[in-house]
Structure 1
Amino acid sequence: MTDIRPASSLDAARFCAIYNHYVATTTISFEEAPVPEADMAGRIADVTDGGLPWLVLEIDDVVAGYAYATKWRARPAYRHAVESSVYLDPELAGRGHGQRIYARLLDELRSRGLHTVIGGIAQPNERSVALHERLGFRKVAHFAEVGVKFGRRVDVGYWQLLLAPQPGVTSG
């Protein structure tokens, strides 16, 4: 059975197990050292205390992945824009779980009145690009060689999704 629920600090250890795999073996994350459980718990608290969603995907009562949003920028004019992240247990990739939890995250963001969602994707990452584009994101930027990991320079692309318009706010 699959369930999606809000995250808590009790999920931090399992999130570390999922995330630290990507830290240690891929350029998907630009972190270079494993994230300790206490730091992950702090990250969860920072996101949720800031009024943004952090969701957990459970399959048969086991945490299989998570998705969350953070502020895009600190200045007040950016308050309707967020950056999104999604991570799955690597054993479960390619089965539609990422799309399921990401779609729920987008629903949560809409319900909170947010307008713009931005996904940064280290390149190459065909699976993440395909996931974002299936959900309606479109590529809006590409920065060459902005990261260095495992002794090589890494590009980052940005995909954007505009959520429902907000009353009283015009585009353009």
Structure 2
Amino acid sequence: MEATIRTATEADLHAILRIMNHAILHTTAVYDYEIKDEAFINNWFAEKQRSNYPVIVATTDSEIAGYGSYTQFKAKDGYKFCVEHSVYVAEAWQGKGIGRLLLTALIDNAKANGMHSMVGLIDADNTISIALHKKLGFTEAGLLQQAGFKFNRWLNVQFMQLLLD
């Protein structure tokens, strides 16, 4: 499997939306309940561009295999050097290294843009994602008990953090 990481374009938004909606409907990787529409993804992408935050995709010969992005952790001035990332991989490409490629590219981008810290909020039962983060140098930075609710059950959120400099 050969995948390339590149900056997302408007032409990629349909594939990103498909991956996003699959995660909403079938996983606890995102705590939304309702699928998103074309207007949402267009606004989401425009806001990322306005704020100068990256949206990247992993491409194979035939399709978008995943996407990633980050944004300021919290909307307060003091958090301007701390970003929260998101990485989602299409179901058919999970377990094939796409998540690692995307997360590594986001880390490199954040370093190049002078960020100091990157955090991830991960469903605590997602041991695969937690293990990937640890392999890339993230450490466990706290656990929020029963912070989310989806699929008729309470979900714990594992904070992971990487200091970038």
The TM-score by the shorter chain falls in which range?
A: over 0.9
Report the equivalent of 1:124. Answer: 125
User: Is it true that 1:76 corresponds to 2:74 in the alignment?
Assistant: no
Rg: which structure is higher? 1
Q: Distance in 2 between matches of 1:135 and 1:12?
A: 27
Structure 1: where are the runs of 5+ without partners? 165-172
Report the equivalent of 1:55. Answer: 56
Q: Distance in 1 between matches of 2:16 and 2:46?
A: 13
Alignment partner of 1:44: what SS? Answer: helix
Report the equivalent of 2:86. Answer: 85
AA aligned to 2:60 is I
AA aligned to 2:143 is H
Q: Distance in 1 between matches of 2:135 and 2:68?
A: 16
Deviation at 1:57, TM superposition (A): 0.7
Q: Distance in 2 between matches of 1:146 and 1:25?
A: 19
Q: Distance in 1 between matches of 2:56 and 2:96?
A: 18
Deviation at 1:61, TM superposition (A): 4.2
- Tell me the TM-score normalised to structure 2 length: 0.95
Deviation at 1:123, TM superposition (A): 2.1
Report the equivalent of 1:156. Answer: 157
AA aligned to 1:100 is L
Evaluate the alpha carbon distance shift between residue 91 and residue 61 of structure 1 in structure 2; reply closer, same or farther with a 3 A threshold: closer
Q: Deviations over 1:86-123 (max 9, x none)?
A: 00111111111111111011111111000100000012
AA aligned to 2:78 is A
Structure 1: 4+ residue segments shifted above 2 A: none
Alignment partner of 2:109: what SS? Answer: helix
Contact 2:3–2:98 (8 Å) recurs in 1: no
Identity of aligned residues (%): 32
AA aligned to 2:77 is P
Alignment partner of 1:38: what SS? Answer: helix
Contact 1:7–1:44 (8 Å) recurs in 2: no
Q: Distance in 2 between matches of 1:45 and 1:122?
A: 27
AA aligned to 1:118 is V
- Tell me the TM-score normalised to structure 1 length: 0.91
Question: Could you say what the CA RMSD is over the residues aligned between the two structures, in angstroms?
Answer: 1.1
Please give the residue correspondences for 1:23-62 in structure 2 after superposition, counting only pairs within 5 Å.
Answer: 23-62=24-63
Deviation at 1:2, TM superposition (A): 2.2
Contact 1:80–1:115 (8 Å) recurs in 2: yes
